[in-house]
Structure 1
Amino acid sequence: MKELVRTSDPTVIAFATALLEAEGIAAFQMDVHMSVLEGSLGILPRRLMVRDEDHFIARAILRDNGIEV
């Protein structure tokens, strides 16, 4: 798996996931619960991961929709 996006903004993660799923690309969120474990208020970044073979096209999809990758 390769990292596609790293952000602390949950709306970016949700939008990126929706875009990728619409194109048939499976995306996996990592570090979702790290803020709870560390006791912070959602300031730790989350990562959106995709399979290695989907990384190139996933980057293009997000770039075309205004998400910095």
Structure 2
Amino acid sequence: MKHLLRTTDPTEIAFARALLSGEGIDCFELDVNMSILDGGIGALPRRLMVADRDHKAAYRTLRDNGLNPVDE
């Protein structure tokens, strides 16, 4: 798994997941339950992960649609 996106904006995560799903790329969201620790205010970022083999395509998809994927 490779780290693709980190954000505190839940709408950005939803948009990224929809884009990746449309391209047939599976992704996994980490740190979803951390909102319990920050009281639900969204201060802690969530991470979106993809399989190593899908990282380049996923990176291009997000970048081409105005999102800022993580550079590794």
- TM-score, with structure 1 as normaliser: 0.94
Percent of aligned positions that are identical:
59
- Report the number of matched residues: 68
How far apart are 1:35 and its partner, in Å?
1.7
- Where does structure 2 lack aligned partners over 5 or more consecutive residues? none
Deviation readout 1:2-50 (Å, 9 max, x if unpaired): 01000000011000000000010001100001021x1432210000000
SS in 2 for 1:33: helix
Aligned residues: CA RMSD: 0.8
Q: Which amino acid aligns with 2:66?
A: G
Q: Which amino acid aligns with 2:5?
A: V
Q: Where do residues 1-69 of structure 1 align in structure 2 (5 Å cutoff)? A: 1-36=1-36, 38-40=37-39, 41-69=41-69
SS in 2 for 1:66: coil
- TM-score, with structure 2 as normaliser: 0.90
In the TM superposition, structure 1's runs of 4+ consecutive aligned residues that sit over 2 Å from their partners are none
- Where does structure 1 lack aligned partners over 5 or more consecutive residues? none
